Chains A and B, each alone.
Chain A
């Protein structure tokens, strides 16, 4: 999807940066909105790192936005990391942006569709 470099991307590049990277996943901090961007694949090899990154950014009580539109693959343990991070929050939601359709199906089938603190955003990622 030919999307040019926006001001947000530049801000993210300078203010945010990479919080985690391995051979199959890069997690970068985003500042507007506050959150993380995930690119690549999540499985049991890096789910701990995902859980740690999300709980660090979700320590406060504002809504936290996770851009998962560049997630090529995410297993149940990865979704579980998002779900548990959301459940552990007392205040503020975890917003998933750009969740691929198949992963929405996975969440519905596995009974994770309607969690109070985890919101799957219908919006397109580039308009958050």
Chain B
């Protein structure tokens, strides 16, 4: 199989639809090799299992490639763009192109994670569109993923490679719509929620309620303390930018303790939660921190205001790993 190798002049975001290991390897190995041959820095963010396979397939050339475990980098998908930004910033130079492979979506992702991964794929266009010339290939396992996931991949990627042929995607939603306010509906809580309407004077009650619910849910003390910090920051945002008050709800779903903050503010900077704080001390830090402390952060911009859900997984397998099957 041969892939046409365009000389890219800007960011190229391409979905790779593959069926089975052979197709995955047949597409990714030449992609990596072409990059290495051209002297381009290459970063591959994949499962441990695929990294192992690629190392074997690449042989000595694997030494020229950077690898990172997607289960760690992207457990919370909002941490992936900062990782790519770091890669691009570190290697960018006049006239230099770069390559990446990133597979943020796999079958075992929970439905909540999947939605955030899909948002992440769209936000990549906003983060890098028109910027440094690097080529990001995002493999999608057609055999294992639902058709709706593949359909969405065609909307979030300007290019799609299917059965060895790369095409511009007719369904691509475009740069502007990629960063449009995100209002995909969140699931209703299945269980009764604790509720607290707060303003500035009630922040201590907000923290006390989160701490108590975290204890009841059986979160480790350290994770409970992290959740308290994250909720306090989001509640503080409601007080400062969301009309001076907000509503906190806390409940448990199958896997996580969920803390939701609603206010009347408008979250309209789509990358605000994944912008690394600048050295300026006034630079915002709350949502960035929440993404680093929590397993998942779900932000929705609705006509009536902003909803932020912070999730802490109750199970010890909080950082989901795809365990390779050795037999």
Contact = CB atoms under 8 A, between A and B. Distances in A.
Interface of A: 23-24, 41, 43-45, 73, 75-77, 80, 83-84, 87, 102, 106, 109-112
B236 interface: yes
Contacts of B285: 76, 110-111
Contacts of A80: 281-282
Interface of B: 200-201, 203-204, 207, 222, 225-226, 228-229, 232-233, 236, 239-240, 276-279, 281-282, 285-286, 288-289, 292-293
A111 B277 contact: yes
A23 B202 CA distance: 12
Contacts of B239: 44
Given A43-B236, A44-B236, A111-B285, 13 more contacts: A43-B203, A43-B204, A44-B240, A45-B203, A73-B207, A77-B236, A80-B282, A83-B281, A84-B281, A109-B288, A110-B277, A110-B285, A111-B277
Contacts of B277: 110-111
B310 to A, nearest CB: 15
B281 A109 contact: no
A87 B292 CA distance: 26
B233 A102 contact: no
A122 to B, nearest CB: 20
B225 A102 contact: yes
A128 to B, nearest CB: 24
Contacts of A87: 281
Contact of B236 (A41, A73, A75, A110): A75
B289 A109 contact: yes
Contacts of B279: 111
A76 B281 CA distance: 10
Contacts of B225: 102
B232 A110 contact: no
B204 A41 contact: yes
Nearest to A41: B204
Q: Which of B207, B281, B293 has the most CB of A within 10 A?
A: B281
A44 B240 CA distance: 9
**What are the 7 closest A-B residue pairs judged by CB atoms, nearest first?**
A110-B285, A109-B292, A111-B277, A76-B285, A83-B281, A43-B203, A84-B281
A6 to B, nearest CB: 29
Describe B's contact surface by its main secondary structure. Answer: helix
B288 A102 contact: no
A75 B233 contact: yes
Contact of A75 (B226, B232, B281, B282): B232
A23 B288 CA distance: 29
B299 to A, nearest CB: 18
A75 B293 CA distance: 14
Contact of B200 (A45, A84, A110): A45
22 contacts: A24-B204, A43-B236, A44-B200, A73-B207, A73-B228, A73-B232, A75-B233, A76-B233, A76-B285, A76-B286, A76-B289, A80-B282, A83-B281, A84-B281, A87-B281, A102-B225, A102-B226, A102-B229, A109-B289, A110-B288, A110-B289, A111-B277
B256 to A, nearest CB: 20
B279 to A, nearest CB: 7
A84 B203 CA distance: 23
A31 to B, nearest CB: 29
A102 B286 CA distance: 15
Contacts of A106: 229, 289
Contacts of B276: 111
B199 to A, nearest CB: 10
A43 B232 contact: yes
A80 B277 CA distance: 12
Nearest to B288: A110
A110 B233 CA distance: 13
Nearest to A76: B285
A41 B288 CA distance: 22
A45 B244 CA distance: 13
A101 to B, nearest CB: 8
B90 to A, nearest CB: 16
A45 B201 contact: yes
A111 B282 CA distance: 12
